[in-house]
Amino acid sequence: MLLALPALEAQVRRVEGSVAVVIGADTLAVSGARVVLHGVGRQAQGPLDSTRAGPDGGFRFAFASQAQTVYILSARHAGIEYFSEPIGTTSPGPARVRIVVSDTSSGAPVGLAARYFLVGVTDAASERSVIDVLVLENASGRTRVSADSSRPTWAMSGLPDATTAVEDGTEFSVGAVRVRNDSVLVFAPIPPGRRQVVLSHTLAVGAASLRVPIPVEVPELSVLGEEPGLRVEGPGIAAMPAGQLEGQAIMQWSGRVDAGGSLTLRFARPDRPGPGTLAGLVALIAAGFSVAAWRALRRPPAPAPASPTGSVPSPDGAAALLDALARLDARHKDHPGRMTATEWSDYQAERARLKARLASALARRGPAA
């Protein structure tokens, strides 16, 4: 005899919010903006409902919240889509959300706030790739757009003499970041805040060093490396105390570098081959986390209480989440330029869901020692 299992009841959730634009010290309501509610779950994902913001910028949604589904809102303003953080579905009462959009300007300044280099180990028979994370910052309060579609919204020359490619973790749409000769160019709107571009520089087998020109000032430049004997040279750069990542010592250098300088990475023959422990950090970068997230991985997992039967507690799942993020990005990387606006929005929402779960898993590891 088969037992009839009761269906999981969906909880009715309400969302109240507003669409606003921040100009200087003023916050102004945006009326008429189209607001879309998206759901991202294991079985289905996509837009669920939409409405127009009222004269005061306000909007409301009521929907059946399903378990294992993350909900996110987007608002379109001046032709650009802006996304909210995932909506909480466990707290009582309506969720309150404010979607901040911005006016556009072709003159909004965009600078380089930080730059990070990740140097892993390799063997003598393998090519070497150095991960280069550029953190762009738009502090103007307006979204930077190009006055001409043929011109980039941001560009930087001076890439090193290596084979350079755009990598997962770049926080712009597929195909919007391109490498030409010794320059990287962004052909996408750049909203207020920070966005990262992730590059890889691949060197020939046996390369002994990599010189990186610094064409613009970098307020925060860091190098993380696990290869024994790695040396970093350049004005403004100093060695910092080594850290730990999954039991492996990670050397680090940091400093502020002026425009016109250069950075030289000098490699030594590694003691062991393989991708090394920095592969986990690269996965975090691909997930959209800043390099600072590696400090969270330094923490040992918080001890979990033993079960009554004495079985071993399950792991926190961080590795599985990293793998899921990598596979998600890989699936979309295979379809450059073929994603619709809805597909791109669903992809971003799914990444937000996985990133939130990964952040929670890292937080459970407890405070740093």
* Rounded CA Rg of the chain: 23
pLDDT in the model for residue 300: 43
Helix H or strand E encompassing 177: strand 177-180
Going by pLDDT thresholds of 50, 70 and 90, the confidence category of residue 1 is very low
Contact (Cβ atoms closer than 8 angstroms) between residue 55 and residue 137 = no
For residues 250-272, give the mean pLDDT.
85
For residues 16-21, give the mean pLDDT.
91
pLDDT in the model for residue 57: 94
pLDDT in the model for residue 282: 62
Fold that domain 11-101 belongs to in CATH: Immunoglobulin-like (2.60.40)
Contact (Cβ atoms closer than 8 angstroms) between residue 200 and residue 130 = yes
Measure the CA–CA gap between 314 and 306, rounded to whole angstroms. Answer: 10
pLDDT in the model for residue 64: 86
- Between residues 290 and 331, which one has the greater pLDDT? 331
User: Residue 138: how many CB atoms within 10 A of its CB?
Assistant: 24
pLDDT in the model for residue 297: 44
Fold that domain 111-297 belongs to in CATH: Immunoglobulin-like (2.60.40)
pLDDT in the model for residue 309: 36
List the single range of 29-33, 66-70, 181-185 with lowest mean pLDDT: 66-70
User: What are the tens digits of pLDDT across the range 44-63?
Assistant: 678 899 999 999 999 999 98
Would you say residue 110 has pLDDT above 80? yes
pLDDT in the model for residue 363: 46
Residue type, 368: A
- Between residues 206 and 164, which one has the greater pLDDT? 164
Would you say residue 180 has pLDDT above 90? yes
For residues 333-356, give the mean pLDDT.
60
Q: 99-131: b or e for each residue (b if 16 or more CB lie within 10 Å)?
A: bbbbbbeeebebebbbbbbbbbbbeeeeebbbb
Going by pLDDT thresholds of 50, 70 and 90, the confidence category of residue 252 is confident
Going by pLDDT thresholds of 50, 70 and 90, the confidence category of residue 339 is low
Structure tokens at 163: 């084979």
Domain with CATH 2.60.40.10 in the chain: 11-101
Going by pLDDT thresholds of 50, 70 and 90, the confidence category of residue 163 is very high
269 DSSP β-pair partners: none
